[in-house]
Amino acid sequence: MARGASTKDDLTRRFADGLVMVANMLSGRDAGRLAGDRAVHRCVEHPIPMVSAAMSLAAVRRAAPLGIGILFDSLSSVERCRQLADAFRDAGGTGPVVMVRRAWMGEPPREREKAQLDVYRSYAAPAAQAHWSEDQLVSGDDPATVAGRVADIVARAGADAVSLRVHVPGVSPGEVRNQIALLEPVVDQVHALLGTGGR
C-alpha cells in the first residue's frame, strides 16, 4: 500500500469519528477544538439540525445515537428505505428520516434519466446497487396522481420528509423553473395527504 493511503476500514473510522465531532458541534453539545468559534458557540442556544446520508444498516445505527437524522438516496427501493428507517428507530434514532425521489410533471426525459443512472452506476458500490429499484422516478400529467404516488412512497418507507428532485443531465434553467412551478401543487397535496405542515 502506498504511503499515506487509507484502507476502507480507516476511511470508515475517520468518517465515524468526524460525524460524531460535527454532530456534537452543531448540536451545541460539545464545541471541541472550535470552542472559541463564535458561530459554533451559538449552536448551544441555536442547534443546527443535521442529517447523514445513510444507505446501510451500519450507517443508520451510527447516526441514531447522535440525535441526527438520516437521508436516503433516490434509487433505493421503498422496501430498503423502510428496512433502514426501522433499524434507525430501533437503534434509538429520533431525528428525521428523509428520502429523495426524482419527480417530473408531464412526459419524463427518459433518455436523460437513463444517462444519469449510468453515471450513478459508474461509481456506486455493487452492495449499494443491489438495493436499487429500476424506476424510482415519479411522473405523470396530473398533480393529484403524482402527489398520491409520492405520499404512498413516503408512508410505506416510514419517512418523515421527502426531497423531490428534477435533476437530469442537460436540464436547462428554464426546464427546472417550469418543473418547480408544475410541482408546486404536488407538494401542497403531499402535505395534505400526509397531514404535515407547510413546506
Q: What is the pLDDT of residue 117?
A: 74
| CA distance readout (Å), 1 to 5, 9, 156, 172 | 6, 14, 45, 44
Domain ranges of the chain: 1-48, 51-194
Tell me how far apart the alpha carbons of residues 62 and 8 are, in angstroms, rounded to a whole number: 16
Name the DSSP letter for residue 33. Answer: G
Q: What is the pLDDT of residue 114?
A: 77
Beta strand 51-53 pairing with 138-140: unpaired
Cβ–Cβ contacts within 10 Å for residue 76, how many? 22
C-alpha cell of 175? Answer: 426546464
Domain 51-194 has CATH 3.20.20.30: yes
**Per-residue pLDDT of the chain in tens (199 residues, 90 and over written 9):** 455 557 888 888 999 999 999 999 999 999 999 999 999 999 999 999 999 999 899 999 999 999 999 999 888 899 999 999 999 999 999 999 999 999 999 998 878 777 777 777 777 777 776 767 766 789 999 999 999 999 999 999 999 999 999 988 888 999 999 999 999 999 999 999 998 765 5
Q: What is the pLDDT of residue 179?
A: 95
C-alpha cell of 165? Answer: 428532485
Question: pTM, whole model, 2 decimals?
Answer: 0.84
DSSP per-residue letters across 57-125: HHHHHHHGGGT-EEEE-SSB-HHHHHHHHHHHHHTT--S-EEEEEEEEESS--HHHHHHHHHHHHHHS-
Task: Tell me how far the alpha carbon of residue 168 is from its chain's centroid.
Answer: 17
Cα angle value 165/197/66 (rounded, 5°) = 75
Q: What is the pLDDT of residue 2?
A: 52
